[in-house]
Every structure is written in structure tokens, then in C-alpha cells.
């Protein structure tokens, strides 16, 4: 199928009440695992790259590999820069072939967030690149993002509408009580707030921090009509844990490809599980 931006993909998901997963990759092994999962489940997919991953693997390598894999697949594939806070990195991704970017201005005052986000939207849209913004401040820790519980700011539903109109973003990440990283045994999601956001908006809404949420909560979030949900922490954990498992089970094995294949399978199985929960299986 095609290498696409996220705009039409997420609009369709909202209309049909399923979710497209945004899955963070760290290298070629995890990237192929996400692609294979999408092909086997016939699911649209969004490959996410953190700023750290971009700097580690390079601006030219990532889009070249993803475009090649997309050409060989029969499912719609998008690539997005996740939590872009460095405007130079965001601009380089736009100009280097990312189909989508996220500008995270949530740490700035509201008006400054609008100003920064709008500038990125203007450049991105001129290159047919879609943009995800963020309003509110999602808690937890992931990559270079660290937000203490005292700094969490839930999204104002009324401002979500205004923010989209003033910036021109294609999708919006909202804060409703989810957080980056794994959860403690108790957590509280503000479903009433999400309901108000969905009632007032007509554009794709994104939920970050979905690793480790109970399946019943994931399905309840999906029922509201959100378009995209992010899985990052859980992929990292299964990647590292399966590396350790393989080495422990095969202490005398020195063929790296065998370990890579094992790790790739574990990541693929996890991604396929989420595609089934999200309802995106067979939606390609």
C-alpha cells in the first residue's frame, strides 16, 4: 500500500470507532516487528520514533527503510516523530521524509504553545506532513519527557477546540489521567472529561501512555471514538526482557541473528495483541 501521513488514517478511525496504534521503535528489529504485525493483521499502522532514536539512527536512514518496507506491504503505513520538543529536530524530520510529526509544546503557557505549534504546522503542511499537537500535560516519564504528578495538567475541553482552530493541527493528544511509563496498581482516568472533548471536537484525538492499561479501560477509551493510542514503554520492556531470556536460555549461542529473530517475534506478538484490542485488525 502507500506510505501516508496520519490525517486520513485517523479521520477514518474516528468515524468507524477503532484505533490506529502508534508503536515506538528503537532499531531495525523492532521496526520490522511492527511492520510484520501490521501485514499479518492487515492493520493500518503508525511507526513512532523518539528524538533520541532519530539522532541515534539518522535522518536519512529511517525514512529510507520505512518507505521501502511500506512499498512492499499492502497496508497503510505512517511514520511520526513522537514528542517533538526540539524545533530543529522536528524541522529536519519534516524535510527528511517523515510523513507526520508531533510538536509537544505542552510545557509552555497556552498562548506560547499555540504560537510554536502553528509555526510547525505551516511548514509541515507545505510538505504534505500531518501534525499532532498536545494540550494539557501528560504525566510520567518517557525518553526526554518527565512530568511529576504535581505538574500534570488535564486538558480543558473548550480550549481543545480553540487550540485546533488557531494552530491547524490534524490531531490532538489530550491529558485525561494516562501517563507515560507503567502504572501503579491504582490509577484514575477522567472519562467524563474525554466525553466532553469528544462531544466538542470533530478531529482525531490521541491518547498517550497506554502501556499497561487494563484491557477494559482501553476498550472504554476506544468506545469514545479516539483515533490513536500510543504504546512505547511496553515495547521497550518486552524487547529487553526477551533479549535477557534468550541469552539465559542459550548461554553458548553466538549467532546474533537467532536472538534477533526471537526478540522480533516477541515484539510482533505484542503489537498484534494491541491491534486486536484497538479494533484495527482487518481495517487496512
Catalytic residue numbers, as ranges: 82
Grid coordinates standing for 184?
501503579
Is beta strand 77-84 parallel, antiparallel or unpaired with respect to 45-49? parallel
CA distances to 20, 62, 114, 234 from 11, rounded to whole Å, are 10, 26, 22, 26
DSSP code per residue over 89-134:
HHHHHHHHT-SEEEE--TTS-HHHHHHHHHHHHHHHHHTT-EEEEE
Does the CA dihedral 152-153-157-161 come out positive or negative? negative
Q: What do you get for the CA distance between the two ends of the chain, in Å? A: 9
Q: How far is CA 147 from CA 14, 132, 140, 143, 274, in A?
A: 28, 19, 5, 11, 26
Burial of 232 (0-12, 13-18, 19+ CB in 10 A): buried
Place of cell 508531533: 102
Question: Does residue 136 contact residue 155 with C-beta atoms inside 8 Å?
Answer: yes
Amino acid at each position: 500500500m502507500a506510505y501516508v501521513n496520519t490525517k486520513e488514517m485517523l479521520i477514518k478511525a474516528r468515524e468507524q470507532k477503532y484505533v490506529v496504534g502508534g508503536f515506538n521503535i528503537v532499531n531495525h528489529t523492532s521496526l520490522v516487528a511492527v511492520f510484520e504485525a501490521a501485514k499479518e493483521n492487515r492493520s493500518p499502522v503508525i511507526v513512532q520514533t523518539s528524538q533520541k532514536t532519530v539522532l541515534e539512527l539518522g535522518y536519512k536512514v529511517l525514512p529510507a527503510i520505512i518507505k521501502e518496507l511500506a512499498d512492499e506491504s499492502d497496508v497503510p503505513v505512517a511514520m511520526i516523530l513522537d514528542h517533538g520538543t526540539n524545533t530543529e529536530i522536528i524541522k529536519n524530520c519534516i524535510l527528511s521524509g517523515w510523513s507526520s510529526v508531533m510538536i509537544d509544546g505542552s510545557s509552555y503557557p497556552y498562548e506560547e504553545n499555540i504560537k510554536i505549534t502553528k509555526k510547525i504546522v505551516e511548514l509541515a503542511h507545505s510538505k504534505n506532513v500531518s501534525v499532532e499537537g498536545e494540550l494539557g500535560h501528560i504525566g510520567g516519564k518517557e525518553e526526554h519527557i518527565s512530568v511529576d504528578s504535581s505538574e500534570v495538567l488535564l486538558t480543558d475541553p473548550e480550549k481543545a477546540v480553540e487550540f485546533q482552530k488557531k494552530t491547524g493541527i490534524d490531531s490532538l493528544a489530550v491529558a485525561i489521567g494516562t501517563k507515560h511509563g507503567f502504572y501503579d496498581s491504582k490509577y484514575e482516568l477522567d472519562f467524563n472529561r474525554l466525553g466532553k472533548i469528544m462531544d466538542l471536537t470533530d478531529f482525531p484525538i490521541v491518547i498517550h501512555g497506554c502501556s499497561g492499561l487494563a484491557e477494559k479501560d482501553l476498550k472504554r477509551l476506544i468506545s469514545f471514538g479516539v483515533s490513536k493510542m500510543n504504546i512505547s514503554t511496553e515495547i521497550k520492556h518486552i524487547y529487553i526482557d526477551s533479549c535477557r531470556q534468550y541469552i539465559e536460555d542459550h548461554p553458548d549461542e553466538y549467532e546474533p541473528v537467532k536472538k534477533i529473530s526471537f526478540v522480533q517475534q516477541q515484539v510482533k506478538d505484542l503489537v498484534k495483541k494491541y491491534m486486536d484490542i484497538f479494533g484495527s485488525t482487518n481495517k487496512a
